[in-house]
Structure 1
Amino acid sequence: MTSTLALLLALQAATPAPAQVPADQAVPATTPAPAPEDDAATGRTGPAVANTGGDIVVTARRRAESIQQVPIAISVIGGTALAETGTYNVSRLTQLQPTLQFYSTNPRNSAANIRGLGAPFGLTNDGIEQGVGIYVDQVYYSRIASATFDFTDTERIEVLRGPQGTLYGKNTTAGAINVITRKPSFTPEARVELTAGNLDFFQGKASVSGPLVDDKVAIRLSTSVTTRRGTIYNVRQDEYQNSQDNLGLRAQILWKAAPNLDLTLYGDYNRQNPNCCVQYYARTGATQRPLNRQYAALAAAQGYVVPSTNAFDRVTDVDTDLRAKQELGGLSLVANWDLGAATLTSVSAYRFWHWNPSNDRDFIGLGVTTVSANPSQQSQVTQELRLASNGSNALDYVVGAFYFYQEIDTQGLQVQGPAASRFLLNPGASVRPGASGCATATTTACIPATLNNLTSRNTIGFTNTSAAVFGKLTWHASDQLSISPGLRVNYDKKDGSYVSLVTNGTNTALTNDQRGVLAPQSYDPSFDNWNVSGDLTVAYNISPDVHYYATYARSYKSGGINLSGLPLDAQNNPILSVATVRPEKVNHFELGLKTQFADRRATVNIAGFWTEIEDYQATVTNNQVGVLRGYLANAGKVRTRGIEVDSAFRPTSRINLYANGAFTDASYVRFVDAPCPPELTGGTTVGAGQTPAAAGTPGLSPANCNISGQWLPGVSRWAFSYGAEYDLPARVAGVDGQFYLGYDGSYRSKFSSNPSRSLYTDINGYALSNFRLGFKAEKSWNAFLWLRNAFDQNYYDVLATQSGSTGLVVGQPGDPRTYGLTVSASF
């Protein structure tokens, strides 16, 4: 890093004083950023709301500032860059942002992480917070499922890395994704974008805006529709699965009530109803179960063969109908009152989220688990008041108060099928050896009726109240030096109720075998806590184009409650001591350099970070009667550290280049009682004085594992995004414009897809390449051909294991090669 800094300083010293850079030569600050002005003629919306001397202006600190002078690791992607790269949701944003990770097995079970932190890897637990905040037009979205929706009429997206609790309403310990939509216009305008591609892909976006009452009231209406055939063919159900079917509607009304007061009313409704989401056979790996109880023997004993053992043949035969329907929407009112020296902002919002799923949780065409669904309804109310100075003072400040209230009601249903007994129960040593341990049907494991129609109905309630006051002061000690302390006082209270009623197929008392698979339980967890957090940033401007900063933050992620069921004691009662999890305590250090040189035709930003978390909230398993149950607990300590580089270059007016990279070392520092990987599960739990069998060898299994030093899941040590665009001015049919050829690439190195790293669930590194070729007509339209995953790279989004330590590993492959045409116009 020292040599890099020296090189940048040498280049800066050799560069003449900066001049005003024309708008068409402004250098983007991150991934393929277009010119920063909003070009209504082409539909090109850059990453800035204003353009001053080639600077990109953002509102990350609740005031308009040049991105280069904001002492935060931040990336910005403009609306046209989103459209041209096919980045229409957060999942696709990861190909442009190396330190952003997003995983989703279905919309509810999604996780957004930054630098490896944010949410524990695995199934979603409603009782905890997310560490990466998602904000749309200043409103906090508590459901990560909202990140799976299409971006609608988006002006830009700001991705902030590191704790943001002293600037944003909800405390976010890992970062924030700040989505800003286009605002109503008093000049009539309309935009339309149509895309068609293979796999029956269609996407249509449109918006219209104009005045309702002279220069007092303006309206903006927007919509988006996305449909696509599924990428996985189900041979049993004769249909394609993992499809897309999205609808988004958005309306805004802006009222300029006075020269210094404006109010904007927002309303939105989003619906997804895809035939989704399937995970299926990827590979098998040996566990410590007896061989006749591992997947190969169990499947052979029932004459079952998967359609293909190569996941990239993209065929499956899961026998449960799939559904991933969700509805999300709300209303918000944002008021800005300019008081002269400061602006008072109020953000009032109501939001709802309805989830109606159907999953196949055995991942194969046998009736192990025939129903697995957790329909859920959530509503939230938020109120934020914020006072921010209008700048140009020795002291700038942001102070605010935030209130959040959330209710969630969930109705869980799980039903076991006729194959469950073979897969989940132990035939016992008394059974004569056979392919499945069932040479004679004399034990409950060999009788389908033992678990067939065993049903668990779960009623889950949750209320979440959070309140905070926060603020950040910036003292401009000189033209070069600024010091910015921040403080947050936060209160959280969570109350839950979990009731599981279990019945069998004969409506008789449950047997021990049945209770070992689905056990009735009832508990009412509660958590409340006050905490104080803060940060300190020192920034120094060595020149108008070279800026340094150093940050220390002490942050907290709220504690929580377990709402997915608890492990049981020897009497099959829930272990109430693990009903709650403690808050995460975060210590964060960061050094950053932001620089422009070569007459601002080159931008290179570097950030180095070191973050340690005590009481990290992790997914833990409990191995009872051979069935794994996941719940939340506090790991001792984790650490993530690394370095990030964002760079963009414009060597000529026709060429744009960018290259972003991240090295991230994210690991468990101390986690001595962690869940074991699949190769160390499935056997009889060791007793005192006993020694576990070797990994993948049937026999005794450890009760837990020490995984200190292992990787955190989902994080690649190396990640890059890079690309270029070449423009050639031309006149076609009397229309002035330019032809362009663009390329966008990304690379991720190997990462773990399991909370405890396993050789079976490591996902190998992969690179993706996307191309586009088009023509932009000045002030009218844009048309381009696109090719994504051009070389048809086979890769997995996630890998997981089948319950019960059978050794079956299932996967969700990434998209294959896709291609199509996009045409957009502005009027």
Structure 2
Amino acid sequence: MTSNTQVRPRPAARRNEAARFRLSPVAAAIAAVSVLASGAVHAQEKSSAELQSEITRLKQALEKAQQELQKKEGGSAPAASAPVAAEPAAAPLREEPVALDSVVIRSRNRIERLQDVPLSVAVVTGRELDRTGADDIKAITQRLGNISWNQGNQRTSSLSIRGIGKQGQTEAQDPSVGVIVDGVNYAYNALTSSFTYHDIEAVEVTRGPQGTLLGKNTSLGVVNITTRKPSFTPSADYSITLGQNDRVTGKFAGGGPIVDDLLAWRGSFVVDKGEGDIRNLDNKDITYQNIDRVSGRVQFLLTPTQDFNARLAVELQPRAGETTNGRTINTPTPTLYSNGAVNALGTDASTRLARSWFKQQNTYNYANDYLYGGGHRAVNNDTVRPLVTGSHGASLELNWNVGNHTLTSITAYKDYHFNAVNDDGTPFDIYRNAGGFWNDYKQRTQELRISSKTGGLVDYQAGLYYINVSNSSEYQREWGNDAGAWFASTAQYNRLNTSAAGQLLMQNSLDRVVMAYNSPTGLQNIKNTSSAVFAQANWHLSEPLTLTTGLRLTREDRSNTGSSFIRDYGNGAELNPVAVNGVQLGGFSSNSTGVLAAANSAAQLALADKVANKYFGVAVNPNSPGSAYNSLTAEQKRQVADAKAIRATQVGVLFNQTQAESYRDTQPAFVVSPSYKVNPNLTTYFSWQYGEKAGISQLTNGVSNLVKAEKTNSFELGLKSTLLDKTLIFNTALYLMNIRDYQQSVRVLDQYTTNLNNDGTNYYTSATGNVPKVQAKGIEVDGVYAGIRNVTLRFSGAYNDARYKDFTNAALPNEENYPGAPAYKDLSGQTLPGASKWNFNIGADYRRPVFGDKEFHASFNTVYYSRANSDNSLSSYSWISDYSITDLAIGIGRADKAYDVSLLVKNAFGDSTPLASTWNSFTPAVPRWVGLMFTGKL
């Protein structure tokens, strides 16, 4: 896509003086013809001859403008990242048909024809996104090929390309699929999740390792989002959407000159509010998948000379809450394991909710309320809170034309806040926070880039890149006064529930305990720094043959300091252990039946006496420490031991501040890609792309567990064609991706537990680690057809086979975790989680003049995915059947866009396939939604 930056007409007296403010003459032509394939439309009824005449005229205008530009700048084409200005052309009454072979993209930092780029690229325009109300990352990816959005909460969601990328999220881990917004890399998955994308020019997905052109290296691909830039031509556009679930969305985008021909601005603002589709019966004002977003972006463009421009962008999304965690419908836990062994359900909700402690609330029971959402789209959670997120950002982009080169500098800052307070799935006071991250993430980036002119034997780009990341991350857990009765084993519960003293011990065992909990580490301070040098060159060996080569070297320096500790001992501090893993907790020592150990100090014996007095009313003799406690009956001592054991078990692993082993390495990336233009309408190419994702500095149960770098070799054999008198673009690629040391959750040796037990047995736990070999292979297709009058069709699809080639230490799924089961299993040869064999999307846009100056339009987009497993352990209960989602938009408005009204329908056919499933729960699909969208110009 091209920039839509424009300049206003100048008074004749100033025209020569201000000539230096005029940028490339190609911009005006590009503005007319640079509609990406997915957004091209036939907006007027004309004969075939007239349409062909228009296509020829626009193509000739583009070629002429390109020639003028080359004469003026010595053959140099503007860098795609550089904001450009152009003389405005009179706006046509309706969108004109375009020549599809003129579609341009920015994936390589230049404005290039899509058909000339030897990469597998999928594109969608902002205009198409606007028409169907697609303004979040999930909706955007549903309009692109062989890419998918893995639904989680705002922090854990992720992107996959070619079926790869659905790995467990850790705070110190880079995303496999990079996201770039206006030249700024987002090095954290959460930065893409909770934002409304508005005022978008285009979205491009480049598949395969990237890094020899711009930004941060990525191992699977890049999503490149370009927003609309400031213009010297005043404009103001708005939209208001009203829909089901009290949804109200207001959007505004506009701007213009501040100082004619020198300083322009553009602002984009969104207010988006609405309820979710599942209600919380405990607090009916909390709904799941609600929307609560306010955001704004303001840009300023400075053009003091023809050869220099600067763009400053500032964006803000104030903190607000959206409830995503807990959107879970419970189902009965199977009573048999996969080997036929009986599942005793000792820790299952069905067993715990049957205890008298929880049956006192006679309006609530397991069968009618806990299971299946109580028979309707509702849950009953007492302490769930919306997940609070917010973000700030700023970037400064400078562009200089120096001789035959363009110099670009991008300086940027981005932060992100996340805070989750989660519930246990019941209306009881078990957890006041069932585990939720509190994150403050900050990144600072600097990129310097030089781009040569195009034409001649070689054109090239080179640059330096730096990113500094800091992330303060705490996993929080807090227990309530029902927690002891919930987490007690059946034997412990039966002993404690026999007396008032035992019940108070059971309650105080966990009540109000607050922790920075070890999952995977309580409090982490993560510091990641990357510095890189990169270069890429296009060698034009002959008229039809071009060889693209690129190289990148990245220096990674990553560190992580962590600790897990108790913030508040709650109402039963006297029940603490003496120490856990060297962390002193101030308790007294006793055995499993409650008998005092001989090694207790006088202070510890006094604490034991306090327990005897507090819970059993025994008088304390200060002159005889321990005598009060020793006077308890064996049954009473056993109750104390049970309460202490409940606390110790739930507290888990503690450790003092520990420095994980740092990850430091210099990582290469490269590309080699020859392309051959068979004729003006057919180009073939081969590419070999190699990239690495940095290793991870982390702690597992307080012990350093360094994760190796992920290394990807990607091979493509592609064809790009323009057919049927340039009404059909058809691009296809065969690909093979081999990944070594793929980063995801694996079973690793639990050094902490092995050392603690010291019984000659090795113990294992799940943590982020490396899968030795993963492979994805298949074929993908992208295309657009504009040969039907008034209609444009966009399509993409893929057959994808993504498998573990070597993975012998996978975690066991729940159904295989029976007593005596092995510590891990072999998943070699199995399909990766989230990897559908088949996926495609198809979109259509129909536009027809009616009633004189009015225009009727209708659009749809359908995305299809074949069955895939939603669980990293590939549970047999986690298969999601094939499904499709269709979004529709039908409307009418003025052809000059002065006003328009559209009916929007999302998930029009009500597909109810769950988003995820486990052996005793599922995440339901988001149901059909209907709204009205009003748009116009001010």
TM-score, normalising length from structure 1? 0.86
Q: Report the equivalent of 2:393.
A: 330
The residue that corresponds to 1:266 in the other structure is 313
- What is residue 208 of structure 2 aligned with on the other side? 162
Aligned-residue identity in percent: 28
2:261 is aligned to 215
Distance 1:119 1:300, change over 3 A: same
| Aligned residues of 2:906 and 2:929 also touching (Cα < 8 A) | yes
Cα deviation per residue 1:513-545 (whole Å; 9 max; x = unaligned)? Answer: 544433212421122111222111111111111
Instruction: Give 2:814's aligned residue.
Output: 678
SS at the partner of 2:158?
Answer: strand
SS in 2 for 1:793: coil
Structure-2 separation of matches of 1:33 and 1:422 = 63
Of residues 553, 575, 579 in structure 1, which corresponds to 2:703?
A: 575
> What amino acid is aligned across from residue 914 of structure 2 in structure 1?
Y
1:718 equivalent in alignment to 2:718: no
Match of 1:649 in 2: 785
Quote the Cα distance in structure 1 between the aligned partners of 2:498 and 2:421: 32
Distance in 2, matches of 1:41 and 1:357, equals 48
1:68 aligns with 2:115: yes
SS in 2 for 1:374: strand
- Paired with 2:779 and 2:887, the residues of 1 have a C-alpha distance of 26
Aligned twin of 1:693: none
- Say whether residues 1:141 and 2:203 are aligned partners: no
2-structure distance, mates of 1:147, 1:45: 31
Equivalent position SS for 1:297:
helix
Deviations 1:58-101 (A, max 9, x none): 11101110011111111111111011122101111232124222
Given the alignment, which residue of 739, 745, 753 partners 1:619? Answer: 745
1:755 maps to amino acid = N
TM-fit CA distance, 1:214:
1.5
Q: Alpha-carbon deviations, 1:329-358, whole Å to 9, x = none?
A: 211110111123221111011122122322
How far is 1:444 from its partner? 11
Q: Distance in 2 between matches of 1:94 and 1:437?
A: 53
Task: Give the Cα–Cα distance (whole angstroms) in 1 for the partners of residues 541 and 678 of structure 2.
Answer: 14
Q: Classify the secondary structure of the residue corresponding to 1:796.
A: coil
SS in 1 for 2:443: strand
User: Is the contact made by 2:147 and 2:161 (CA closer than 8 Å) also made in structure 1?
Assistant: yes
Q: Which amino acid aligns with 1:279?
A: R
The equivalent residue for 1:313 is 376
Instruction: Report the CA distance shift for 1:45/1:116 in structure 2 as closer, same or farther (over 3 A).
Output: farther
CA distance in 2, matches of 1:609, 1:211: 47
> Is 1:28–1:603's contact at 8 Å kept on the other side of the alignment?
no
| Equivalent position of 2:930 in the other structure | 819
Distance in 2 between residues matched to 1:308 and 1:766, nearest whole Å: 28
Contact 1:34 1:80 in 2 (8 A): no
Q: What does residue 710 of structure 2 align with? A: 584
Contact conserved, 1:34 with 1:78, CA < 8 A, in 2?
no
Distance of 1:217 and 1:345 partners within structure 2: 19
* 2:160 aligned partner: 113
SS at match of 2:198: coil
- Is 1:242 the equivalent of 2:289? yes
Q: Which runs of 5+ in 1 are unaligned?
A: 1-21, 568-573, 684-698, 801-806
Change in 2 beyond 3 A, CA 1:456/1:150 = same
1:789 matches 2:843: no
Aligned equivalents of 1:504 and 1:226: distance in 2? 41
Q: For the residues of structure 2 that align with 1:229 and 1:399, how far apart are their CA atoms?
A: 48
Partners of 1:380 and 1:407 within 8 A in 2? yes
Q: What is the rounded CA distance, in whole Å, between the counterparts of 1:661 and 1:817 in structure 2?
A: 24
CA shift at 1:423, angstroms?
Answer: 5.5
Distance 2:30 2:727 in 1: 12
- Would the alpha carbon gap of residues 315 and 53 (structure 1) be closer, same or farther in structure 2, given more than 3 Å must change? closer
Structure 1 position 290, deviation (Å): 2.6
Give 1:43 shift: 12
SS at match of 1:273: strand
Residue aligned with 1:783, SS:
strand
> What whole-Å deviation, never above 9, does each CA across 1:3-44 have from its counterpart, x for those lacking one?
xxxxxxxxxxxxxxxxxxx99997976545557999996999
How far the C-alpha of 1:775 sits from its partner, in A, is: 1.7
- The residue aligned with 1:758 is 875
Structure 2 counterpart of 1:117, one-letter code: I
1:292 pairs, out of 323, 331, 346, with: 346
Instruction: Name the SS of the counterpart of 1:355 in structure 2.
Output: strand
Q: Secondary structure at the match of 1:145?
A: helix
Q: Contact 1:422 / 1:446 at 8 angstroms: preserved in 2?
A: no
Counterpart in 2 of 1:456?
515
Cα contact 1:26–1:54 (8 A) shared by 2? no
- For residues 57-136 of structure 1, the aligned pairs below 5 Å read 57-118=104-165, 120-121=167-168, 124-136=169-181
Corresponding residue for 1:475? 539
| Residues 409-433 of structure 1: CA deviation (Å, up to 9, x unaligned) | 12332023455456656546xx8xx
Secondary structure of the structure 2 residue equivalent to 1:487? strand
Aligned residue among 474, 499, 506 for 1:411: 474
Quick one: structure 1 residues 819 and 53, their matched pair in 2 at CA, closer, same or farther if it must change by over 3 Å? closer
User: Structure 2: which 5+ residue stretches go unaligned?
Assistant: 1-28, 44-57, 59-87, 338-342, 360-364, 517-521, 578-643, 758-762
Aligned partner of 1:10 in structure 2 is: none
| Residue type of the alignment partner of 2:273 | T
Of residues 537, 557, 564 in structure 2, which corresponds to 1:500? 564
Give, in angstroms, the shift of residue 221 of structure 1. Answer: 1.4
Q: How far apart are residue 279 of structure 1 and its match?
A: 2.5
CA spacing shift, 1:390–1:425, aligned 2, 3 Å: farther
Cα distance, 1:246 vs structure 2: 0.6
Listed one character per residue, the Cα deviations across residues 629-688 of structure 1 (whole Å, up to 9, x for unaligned) are: 75211111111112111121112231222221112211211111111111122x4xxxxx
Q: Whose helix fraction is larger, Structure 1's or Structure 2's?
A: 2
SS at match of 2:515: strand
* Secondary structure of 1:322 counterpart: coil
Please name the residue that 1:524 is paired with.
Answer: 659
Shift in Å, 1:374: 2.0
State the one-letter code of the partner of 1:394: L
> 2:416, 2:117 → 1: CA distance?
34
1:820 counterpart letter in structure 2: G
The corresponding residue for 2:232 is 186
- The 1:527/1:633 distance shift into structure 2, 3 A limit, reads same
Say which SS state the counterpart of residue 80 (structure 1) adopts: helix
- Give the 5 Å matches for 1:323-722: 323-360=386-423, 362-371=424-433, 372-418=435-481, 420-421=483-484, 424=487, 426-427=489-490, 447-457=506-516, 458-502=522-566, 504-505=569-570, 506-508=572-574, 509-510=576-577, 511=644, 513-517=646-650, 518-522=652-656, 523-525=658-660, 526-562=662-698, 566-567=700-701, 574-576=702-704, 578=705, 580-620=706-746, 630-681=766-817, 683=818, 699-722=819-842
**Counterpart code for 1:102:** W
Instruction: Please state whether the residue corresponding to 2:331 is helix, strand or coil.
Output: strand
**Which amino acid is 2:776 matched to?**
T
Distance in 2 (CA, whole Å) between partners of 1:815 and 1:402 is 40
| Aligned length, in residue pairs | 757
Of 71-80 and 736-745, the range deviating more from structure 2:
736-745
Larger mean Cα displacement after TM superposition, 378-387 or 723-732? 723-732
Aligned equivalents of 2:884 and 2:910: distance in 1? 10
1:586 Cα deviation after fit: 1.1
RMSD value, Cα: 3.1
Counterparts in 2 of 1:23 and 1:474: CA distance versus 1, 3 Å: closer
> Aligned partners of 2:155, 2:93: CA distance in 1, in Å?
33
Structure 2 contact 409–446 (Cα < 8 Å) conserved = yes
